Amino acid sequence: MKIILATITLALTLAARAADLTVSITEVHLCCPSCVKGVAKAVADVPGLTAKADQDSGTVTLTGPDAATVQKGADALVAGGYFGKSSDATIKLNADGGAKNQKVQSLKIEGVHLCCGKCVKAVSAALGTVSGVTGNTAAKGAKSFEVTGDFNDKDVLDALQKAGLTGQEK
């Protein structure tokens, strides 16, 4: 009887684990251990979610009991200033950023993850790919920064996302 009960318990445990949804978010900017800690902090308040950030591969793995929980984790990741590509088409990284797809000379951006000098360099490199951008004030630990030049606002946010980061127009 104990063997049957143990077998049933094991089967139910395995079935419950099999029901979990695991999604990989790739191409995330994770240049240092502080970025990895930032991911953990960003998703910490999502009940039932487990997150693992792999600095070497630039991947964040989100696991939860259902798609709604994993989506909340993806939303929290974006709110924390991170971006990437989801391995599951049903889990979206929604990072509109408020861009109006128009030419501007100045753009204030907030919410980009900027924990260290490497993050700042990544932002500067990404912005350097945007036609018309002539400068930015991104700095380690900054909550917001300004981009200057004569450029399209959407191109700036797209470049940040391509670099594994994201933010919002302020």
Q: In which band, very low, low, confident or very high, does the pLDDT at 131 lie, cut at 50, 70 and 90?
A: very high
Residue boundaries of the structural domains of the chain: 2-86, 103-169
* 103-169 shares the fold of 2-86: yes
103: CB partners within 8 A, 6+ apart = 132, 150, 151, 152, 153
Q: At what angle do helices 153-162 and 117-127 cross, to 10 degrees?
A: 130
pTM more than 0.75: yes
103-169: in CATH 3.30.70.100:
yes
Look at residue 1 and tell me whether its pLDDT is greater than 60. Answer: no
Residues 32-82: tens digit of each pLDDT: 999 999 999 999 999 999 999 999 999 999 999 999 999 999 999 999 999
Q: In which band, very low, low, confident or very high, does the pLDDT at 10 lie, cut at 50, 70 and 90?
A: very low
The CATH class of the 2-86 domain is alpha beta
